[in-house]
């Protein structure tokens, strides 16, 4: 039976999405200065 651990998958994708999107937004804004 496949284990039900989808919440860990969701958390990882959300955390990495926030990290990378946040850093990209910071870089993007810095280019406007």
Nearest distance from C-beta of residue 20 to another protein, angstroms: 7
Q: In the complex, what is the shortest distance from the CB of residue 3 to another protein, in angstroms, rounded to a whole number?
A: 4
Interface residues with another protein (CB under 8 A)? 2-6, 8-9, 11-13, 15-17, 19-20, 23-24, 27-28, 30-31
Structure tokens, 27: 């870089």
**Cβ at position 29, least distance to another protein in Å:** 11
- 9-20 as b/e, with b when 16 or more CB fall inside 10 Å? eeeeeeeeeeee
Give the span between the Cα atoms of 19 and 26, in whole angstroms. 11
């Amino acid at each position: 039976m496949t284990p039900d651990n989808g919440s860990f998958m969701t958390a990882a994708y959300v955390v990495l999405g926030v990290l990378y999107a946040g850093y990209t937004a910071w870089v993007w804004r810095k280019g406007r200065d």
